[in-house]
Structures are given as structure tokens and as C-alpha cells.
Amino acid sequence: MAPKKGEKQKNNKKESSAGELRTPKGMHDILPSEWLWREKIYSVISELADFYNFNRIDTPILEYATVFERGVGSDTDIVNKEMYFVRSKGEDSLVMRPEGTAPIARAYLEHHLGRSASLQKLFYRGAMFRHERPQAGRFRQFEHGGFEVIGGNNDPIYDAEIILIFQRLLEKLKIKNIVLKINSIGCRVCRPLYKKQLQSYYKDKEKKICADCQRRLKINPMRLLDCKNESCVGFKESAPSFFDKLCSNCSSHLKEVFEYLDELKISYSIDHTLVRGLDYYSKTVFEFFVEGAGSEIGALSGGGRYDYLLEMLGGRMTPAVGGAVGIERLITVMKAQELEAPKKQPKKVFVIHVGELAKKKSLNLIEKLRSAGISATEALGRDSLKVQLRLADKEGVKLALIFGQKEIFEKSIIIRDLENHLQESVPMDTIVEEVKKRLVRKKQ
């Protein structure tokens, strides 16, 4: 039914109103030029996963809220303030995942992955959603690349391996001025004592800290060390350090992690204010930053040990350690450090048609080249020989294959070398061999 005059005007107004026809705040389109950066990062992630023997796992974007309430902690900002709830007909309390570790722990339990192997090395990448205030390096939809080791007898070598992977990832992307910060946030034995010490340190400062921290002081005082609020930052430096209060188990675990890192020649600094914003951590926690250009975006990656998470989700206590990197932050830093932009590999040949008949036969020729492993490109929508040659030059292609009515009639095709501009006519049915021969010659 055609809209009445008034209705049409109303709809037009709605469509053109600000905010309706653009991406939601804090979310972005990923344009083709951006994909080259992403693909570069993904390929390094896959390469490292393969090298260190991690297997890919994917979990849904939607999860029951309980996964994060129990896993990440209902008092964390991520769960308390930043989760996107999805309104649906039947299943309520579905949320868009704000992170990947709790869902992986859920999947590990749901599919009894521990039964098939006592050690699971898993990696993933995918979109995460947090309703945060958008700013440099902080979006509402962003992507994680993550590595998790579940099982493995609480061995500190896996803490070191996870850190090593993120170090190598940054190095392979040629990111400079890397800083690795490490801390231990203890275990169920030593943490209660440390919390008490923190509470007594903050007791006479309670009125000066932010409202969130005043609340956290009672339930989760370690989170005060993570607060970025101006009124709280100043108190962090003189706060008691967990270091000398760690129980012997946590202390020797951390010592061993350091020994492995020393062995690997990975430099690190100890930061006793590093506590991470998720409740599932115990013992080792770490974050990677850069200094100088790009430093304003904060941590590039972070993670740590989470020995209690599987238990918090209803399973048996299972030692685990992992970390995740923010893909957008990596790209921001790579651009800020003016690293060379990844380029598309130029195709090997450019198919140029002259006339309608040749145009009709072009797709078949391209298919023949592709199935022989010769990458080919074209400008089939452009009819001018000059324009097609110019485009072939611009794309950095090595050989142009030119054919028109005469060549079709003679069952031949012209191969033009775009570097020395020499050209030669060859029989059409030998085109694959002739092109391969020339490409090999060019490599030598």
C-alpha cells in the first residue's frame, strides 16, 4: 500500500535524522583498507597458534548472563556497567559477550574437553562488546585474539608460554618500545590477608576516594588499585604491595615465571598496582603496553592465571592461564609507530580484452589461469586498450595477456611483459605453460 503524503514525510524525516543512518556509537565499519591490517594480524595469530600447538575454538556471541556474572564477577565494571543485554522472546538474560575467557571455560565444561586431553591449548578471535565511554583505543565493539591453556597442573611454564606468545606477536608485527608489566594477585590463602591490609591502608582515605572505590573497599579492595579516577590514583603508589605478602606457593610460582622469562630474555617490570578488571584471576597477571607513540591507548594485551574460573562456573578446580590482545589497539599502535602498511600481493597477470567477442571469452580464460594457480586480474568493464594497460601498470602486474578479434580467429594471444614492454604472440592452448615459463624467468 502506497504511503499517504504525511506518512512519507514522516519516514523521510526519520531516515535522515542524526544517528539513524550511521554505525552505533563506539562501533565501526571495517573498510577494505582496514582489512589489510587485520589480515596481517590474523595471519600472525594463526601462525603462532600453529607453532605453539593451540587449537581454534569459537563460542557464540550471545551467552547467558550467568556465564559472566559468575565467571568475570558481578561486581566488576564489565558485568555491572558494560554488558549489552539482548531482548528476545523466550530466553531472557542473554548478553553479548564482553570477553572470551568465561565462555571458553563454559564450553570446556559443557563439552567435557578435559576428558579428551588433560591439557587444552585453545585460541580464538572474535568481536566483544562493552558499553564503555568511547575514547582513544576504547570502543563498544572491538575484537580479541586470545590464547588459553586449560589444565596443565598449575605449571608456571604455561604462564611463561602465554606471555611469550604475546611478546612474539608484538615483535612479529614489528611493534616497538614494548613494555611488559607483571604482578601476582595471590590465591585464596594469601589474598584475604592482603585485602585486610589494603582496607586498613585506605581506612583514613575513605572520604577522599571516588564513590565506586568507597563501595569496592568493603567488597573487593584490590580493585582500588585499578581505579583510574583522579581522586584515587594518588593513593595507589604508597599502597602496600602484595609481593612480600604472597604465600610460599604463590611466591615460588611467580619466581619460576620470572626464571622462565629470564631464560627467554623477555624483559618485564613488576607493577604491584596491576590487578586487572576481571575477578577470575589468581597468581600471575600481566599486561603489554608501548611507550611513546601509541602509548595513550593503554594496554595492548592482558591476561593471567585463572585457576578458580572453572570452579566458579560449576566445574572442578582446573588450573588455567591465558591472555587476549585488542586487535584495534594493535592497528592503532602500528599506525602511530608509522609501520609499513600491509599491501595486497599484486596479481601475476592482467587479462586485456579488445572487442566484444574477446570480452565474452575473458572469464573462461581467467578461470583457466586461476585453476592453474596463476593469479589474474582484469578490468572487464573498461573497453579501451590504453585504459586497461594503464590499470595493469598501476596494479604492479608483471604480464598482460592481450587478445582481440584477430587473436581469437588465429587461436592465439599476446603476452606483453609490462617491465620491458616486449610482447610476443603465442598459441592460445599453450598460454598456461607460456605464462608459467615467463614468471619463472622473472623470479631468477
- Give me the residues that bind ligand HAM (CB under 6 A), please: 99-101, 130, 132, 137-139, 142, 144, 146, 148, 278, 299-304, 306, 322-326, 328-329
State the angle between helix axes of 156-172 and 32-51 in degrees (0 to 180), rounded to the nearest 10. 140
Instruction: Give percent helix, percent strand, percent coil of the chain, each to the nearest 5.
Output: 45, 20, 35
Of 148 and 161, nearer to ligand HAM (C-beta) is 148
| DSSP one-letter string for 329-388 | HHHHHHHHTTPPPP-PPPPSEEEEEESHHHHHHHHHHHHHHHHTT--EEE-TT---HHHH
Long-range contacts of 167-173 (CB under 8 A, 24+ apart): 167/264, 167/266, 167/288, 168/48, 169/44, 169/45, 169/48, 169/145, 169/301, 169/325, 170/288, 170/300, 170/301, 170/330, 172/44, 172/47, 172/48, 173/40, 173/41, 173/44, 173/330, 173/334, 173/339
Nearest residue to ligand HAM, scored by beta-carbon proximity: 326
Neighbours of 312 (CB within 10 A): 18
Of 100 and 404, nearer to ligand HAM (C-beta) is 100
Residues 303 and 167 sit within 8 Å (Cβ to Cβ): no
Where do we find the cell 596481517? 40
Of 170 and 217, nearer to ligand HAM (C-beta) is 170
Rounded to the nearest whole angstrom, what is the least distance from the CB of residue 415 to ligand HAM in the complex?
49
Rounded to the nearest whole angstrom, what is the least distance from the CB of residue 146 to ligand HAM in the complex?
5
Rounded to the nearest whole angstrom, what is the least distance from the CB of residue 147 to ligand HAM in the complex?
7
Rounded to the nearest whole angstrom, what is the least distance from the CB of residue 193 to ligand HAM in the complex?
25
Give all strands of the β-sheet with 423-427 in edge-to-edge order.
376-378, 349-354, 399-404, 412-417, 423-427
Rounded to the nearest whole angstrom, what is the least distance from the CB of residue 162 to ligand HAM in the complex?
8
Of 132 and 256, nearer to ligand HAM (C-beta) is 132
Of 301 and 388, nearer to ligand HAM (C-beta) is 301
Rounded to the nearest whole angstrom, what is the least distance from the CB of residue 299 to ligand HAM in the complex?
4
Of 298 and 346, nearer to ligand HAM (C-beta) is 298
Torsion of CA 436, 438, 441, 443, to 10 degrees: -70
Where do we find the cell 566458579? 312
Rounded to the nearest whole angstrom, what is the least distance from the CB of residue 218 to ligand HAM in the complex?
24
Alpha-carbon span 242 to 190, nearest angstrom: 9
Of 250 and 418, nearer to ligand HAM (C-beta) is 250
Of 80 and 384, nearer to ligand HAM (C-beta) is 80
Of 184 and 301, nearer to ligand HAM (C-beta) is 301
Rounded to the nearest whole angstrom, what is the least distance from the CB of residue 294 to ligand HAM in the complex?
12
